[in-house]
Amino acid sequence: MKDFVFSNTTKVYFGKDQLHHLSEEIAKFGKKVLLVYGGGSIKKIGLYDKVIAELKKADMTVFELGGVEPNPHHTTVNKGAALCKKEGIDVLLAVGGGSTIDATKAMAATAKYEGDDCWDIITGKAFVPDNLPIVAVLTLSATGSEMDIGGVISNVELNEKQPIFGPTLRPNVSFLDPTNTFSVNAYQTASGSADIMAHVFDVAYFTDQEEMDMLTRMQEEVLKTVVKYAPVAIEKPDDYEARSNLMWASSWALNGFLFSGVSQDAIAHMIEHELSAFYNITHGHGLAIIIPRWLTYILSDKTAPKIKRFGVNVLGVDASLSDMDGAKAAIAALEKFYFETLGLQSRLSDLGIDDKNFALMAKKACSAKGKLVGFTTLTPADVEEIFKMSL
């Protein structure tokens, strides 16, 4: 395995009675806070009021930016960054799911950029080594943004969705209260759960790199956690045990530990990002549609053993099958989980997507190196074929 550095500086308050620490934590960073949130669900569940009460307790001056989109727009990021500069914001507080936290991270970096367009940073035209501090209150178990170093921002004018990364973009403090996910509906719970699994698949599990055995098995435990608890949370949205396990699984799927010593290939993510860039679909749902087709497309004597192992260890596939048959059974079991147990629609056409942009999307997915390098290397023609299989 490769040498690696592990460092995760996010302080996590986990549980149902932790938000009262928000005032003391936020006050450490200054007096002026920009509160960032999405479509307003945090008002419906009463979280907005609780957060405001904490900020008042800390005697903070509060500025607000609501309405962050799912697949957040770079223009919204720019708006937030401009507000930070104009008002001299000391700290950003993201209250929401991955989109809100991702947008907040990009705002925090752009606020330290002499230019005004976050897209310069995201595309590597500008390098900004620093950012304003970030505190997060999580409301959706999915992206892992609450404890990771990245975010993903969409440029709707260009139909592009690109990541922003940086070691200082990890939230300084994150509040993870499973009860804040009780109101997440079945569809978003399913999509978020598919996203958690995809992080395990994509950053570590389905790789041709040499891994550390202990971590491979822990990755399987995260996958098994999702397989066990996502259906429970869908059936009984206020099941604290299920919501807790999903929430902690979401953080650990992507916070660095499980892929110690392995470079992140993120192939399925690179393919899916084109879907949500072009069609603004829910990221986790897009991943659930793509991943079984991707695994089917790359199935070979080389990839079959690991795919079978996944099926045996996570989904109860018969261990006595041959590698190839076991791998096929694993993919079938995964499809069954996504499309029957979680109830996600199985085809891009179900989401109103046709094949007209597939060639362009495939090319864009491979734009960084002309191909996607990982578990198996994919050319644009391969990616286009995977889109077609998903139609």
**CA distances from residue 3 to 173, 263, 305 in whole angstroms, order as listed:** 28, 11, 25
Residues whose CB is less than 8 angstroms from the CB of residue 359 and which lie 6 or more positions away in sequence, other chains included: 380, 384
Burial 42-74 (b: 16+ CB within 10 A, else e): beebebbebbeebbeebebeebebbebbbbbbb
CB of 5 to its own copies, least distance (A): 6
CB of 134 to its own copies, least distance (A): 15
Q: Beta strand 150-155 with 160-165: parallel, antiparallel or unpaired?
A: antiparallel
CB of 269 to its own copies, least distance (A): 23
Residues 243-282 that bind its own copies (CB under 8 A): 244-245, 248-249, 252, 257, 260-261
Residue 44 interacts with its own copies (CB under 8 A)? no
Binding part of the chain for its own copies, among 60-68, 218-226, 330-338, 383-391 by CB under 8 A, reads 218-226
Residue 182 interacts with its own copies (CB under 8 A)? no
CB of 173 to its own copies, least distance (A): 9
Binding part of the chain for its own copies, among 71-79, 113-121, 242-250, 304-312 by CB under 8 A, reads 242-250
Residue 218 interacts with its own copies (CB under 8 A)? yes
Do 118 and 155 touch, CB atoms closer than 8 A?
no
CB of 221 to its own copies, least distance (A): 5
Eight-class DSSP state of 372? B
Query: Which residue, 69 or 221, has its beta carbon nearer to its own copies?
Result: 221
Residue 224 interacts with its own copies (CB under 8 A)? yes
CB of 141 to its own copies, least distance (A): 12
Residue among 110, 181, 188, 225 that touches its own copies (CB under 8 A):
225
Burial 97-117 (b: 16+ CB within 10 A, else e): bbbbbbbbbbbbbbbbbeeeb
- Measured distance between the N- and C-terminal CA atoms of the chain, rounded to whole angstroms: 37
Residues whose CB is less than 8 angstroms from the CB of residue 5 and which lie 6 or more positions away in sequence, other chains included: none
CA distance 242 to 240: 5
Residue among 43, 44, 56, 217 that touches its own copies (CB under 8 A):
217
Q: Which residues bind its own copies (CB under 8 A)?
A: 1-18, 212-215, 217-218, 221-222, 224-225, 228-229, 241, 244-245, 248-249, 252, 257, 260-261
